[in-house]
Chain A
Amino acid sequence: MNLLQRVWRSSLGKKYLMALTGLALFGFVVGHLVGNLQVFGNPELINSYAHFLKSKPGLLWGARLGLLATVAVHVGAALALSAANKAARPVAYSGGSAYGSSWRSRYMLVSGLVIMAFVVYHLLHYTVQLSPVNGVKGGLDFHSLTTRLADGTQVQDVYAMMIHGFQVGWVSLFYLIAQALLFIHLGHGLSSMFHSLGLRNHVWGPRIVAFAQVASLAVFLGYASIPVAVLTGMGGDYVKNLKKAPTTTIETLR
């Protein structure tokens, strides 16, 4: 049997895959957060960053396909393991939840699946920019939001898109719920990752658990800060000025 077969057929092998893909996805979550936090700078900052990403289609699509494959392996292994785990106890106990189990660990599959549903929405919302899902009153096509960078290049106004997007209450609420679930998922997943790969002993065990707590909280606070800031008024004036003269920048520069 080759290595891939050996890994997939074994329960521990699938745990290794979960851990490694989980690590890669955590790396993405951190990178994505750093990119998004640029919204707290001036609009030019995040707009030029978004333009930079879009100007490298090879890199962008490489990363997208890589992430898709990573998610597929992570979810596939999770579903396979979870089915085997359920089959291992055909008759349940009469009582409640398993004694001594940490509460986060019991909701990994549920939190993961909801996060996946959120990611699909998030992609339709801000990547595909499907107008019907953004819920902006009166309808708004995010594609129509454009601006010019300092050097004169016409780019999409990602800053305005984020402000418009998060000004919709239920959208922001959904984002916050998904982030709370990610907090639960990472709080357990980040420490289990080390456990599954065997990178843990009695000295490093508590440190790894502490790292998982701190990192998951930091990710939650980072992501939650964006919709909360928009809901409490950030960027409000900026998009109001756009509405008054939506194409001024373009027209005047022409």
Chain B
Amino acid sequence: MKVSLKVWRQKNANAAGEFKTYASPELNPNMSFLEMLDVVNEELSNQGEEPIAFGHDCREGICGTCSLVIDGKPHGPHKGVATCQTYMRSFSNGDRIVIEPWRAKAFPIIKDLVCDRKAFDRIQQAGGFISVRTGSAPDANSIPVSKENADLAMDAAQCIGCGACVAACKNASAMLFVSAKVSHLGLMPQGQPERYKRVKAMVDQMDTEGFGACTVTGSCEAVCPKEISLDFIARMNRDYAVALIQGDPKQVVGGGAG
């Protein structure tokens, strides 16, 4: 099979970008989408042209590095898979495929289809952790967790931080990502001591990064390769309301003994 690609090319963060159209060489329908790009790039470099830059790493849907808005949908035509697990058999011979990078102010483009997602790292650093004594592994089952909470926390923990939610949202909102990270820890007993401090810090960092707000359009949930539920955003909203009313904790004097 052969396809034609309309790809966003942009030299660097400051350069103006534009779409360019390329014809692919003969493809195997069982190639992954990224392998197809590899083949196209090989031909481009043989012709002396700059290959198309795109993000990729594990190529098995767990690292969250691949991106690409394919024909208007982040991660391509299927539900619940990342671009790396999208195969050419999902397209037809002669298709014209439009490929764009994630587009958001908080995700500046580095080159072509690669964008800078460090904003997500900074949100995580703001509160996406628990503070515990490290040391030998604790005894299993020493802290009981209810089955329901364990399941929900696992659902949230599936987030691979790819940023498809931001890419899909008409407001470029990072709410689904942040809510998954907040809920994942907020549902576990180990996450309780910092539960409200965490949600406050992470949401405030999200605002600072310049992501939009949630208008409950449902786009994020529809494109998430890990099918994270919109309900987590409601959960985060609930926790943040409590944090907002509580305000910042008062400074303790006398070492907390008073």
Contact = CB atoms under 8 A, between A and B. Distances in A.
B217 A11 contact: no
Interface in B122-143: none
Contacts, number: 150
Contacts of B171: 85, 88-89
Interface of B, secondary structure class, is mixed
Interface string A196-208: 1111111001000
Contacts of B206: 11
Given A11-B207, A89-B105, A6 B247 contact: yes
Interface centre among B71, B212, B218, B221 (most CB of A within 10 A): B212
A13 B218 contact: no
A89 B237 contact: no
A101 B73 CA distance: 11
Interface stretch (B38-46, B53-61, B228-236): B228-236
A99 B213 contact: no
Contact of B73 (A9, A99, A191): A99
A97 B215 CA distance: 14
A98 interface: yes
B100 A87 contact: no
Interface stretch (B26-34, B85-93, B238-246): B238-246
B218 A105 contact: yes
B98 interface: yes
A200 B235 CA distance: 8
Interface in A1-57: 1, 3, 6-7, 9-16
Given A85-B173, A101-B219, A93 B69 contact: yes
Contacts of B103: 89, 91-93
A99 B168 contact: yes
Contact of A3 (B203, B214, B222, B244): B244
B72 interface: yes
A98 B73 CA distance: 8
B213 A14 contact: yes
Interface residues of B, number: 50
B238 A101 contact: no
A96 interface: yes
A194 B234 contact: yes
Nearest to B237: A198
B238 A102 contact: no
B114 interface: no
Taking residues whose C-beta sits less than 8 angstroms from the other chain, chain A's interface range is: 35 or more
Contact of B213 (A3, A15, A100): A15
A195 B234 contact: yes
B203 A12 contact: yes
Contacts of A194: 234
A88 B72 CA distance: 18
B207 A100 contact: no
A10 B204 contact: yes
A95 interface: yes
Interface string B186-203: 000000000000000001
Interface in B68-88: 69, 71-74
A108 interface: yes
Nearest to B235: A198
A156 interface: no
Given A89-B212, A101-B217, A198 B236 contact: yes
Given A6-B244, A101-B218, A87 B207 contact: no
B172 A88 contact: yes
> Which 4 pairs of residues, A with B, have the shortest CB-CB distance?
A100-B222, A198-B238, A95-B72, A101-B217
21 contacts: A3-B244, A6-B244, A11-B203, A12-B240, A12-B241, A85-B212, A86-B212, A88-B172, A88-B210, A92-B103, A93-B100, A98-B168, A98-B219, A100-B218, A101-B217, A197-B237, A198-B235, A198-B240, A198-B241, A200-B231, A205-B231
Given A81-B213, A202-B231, 15 more contacts: A3-B244, A7-B244, A11-B212, A12-B240, A12-B241, A87-B212, A88-B105, A88-B106, A88-B210, A89-B105, A99-B72, A100-B73, A100-B168, A196-B237, A200-B231
